[in-house]
């Protein structure tokens, strides 16, 4: 796999992760890790990070 294909695949995977976090925020899904309920603020941060990585990967894949 060359660098262009890798960047596109990574960008798509990060876009799916960002989409999952966006849906979790608006559908108000709860996530439990053991006894800890993960707050929605974690999903907001993850949405920004995953979205940024998706944009970066997709841009690199277009070159």
Q: pLDDT tens digit string along 2-60?
A: 899 999 999 999 999 999 999 999 999 999 999 999 999 999 999 999 999 999 999 99
- The Cα–Cα gap between 43 and 61 comes to 26
Position 1 pLDDT exceeds 90: no
In the chain, domain spans: 3-62
Q: Is the pLDDT of residue 63 over 90?
A: no
């Amino acid at each position: 796999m060359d660098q262009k294909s890798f960047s596109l695949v990574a960008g798509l995977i990060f876009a799916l992760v960002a989409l999952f976090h966006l849906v979790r925020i608006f559908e108000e899904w709860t996530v439990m890790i053991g006894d800890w309920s993960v707050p929605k603020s974690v999903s907001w941060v993850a949405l920004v990070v995953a979205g940024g990585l998706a944009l970066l990967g997709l841009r690199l894949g277009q070159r």
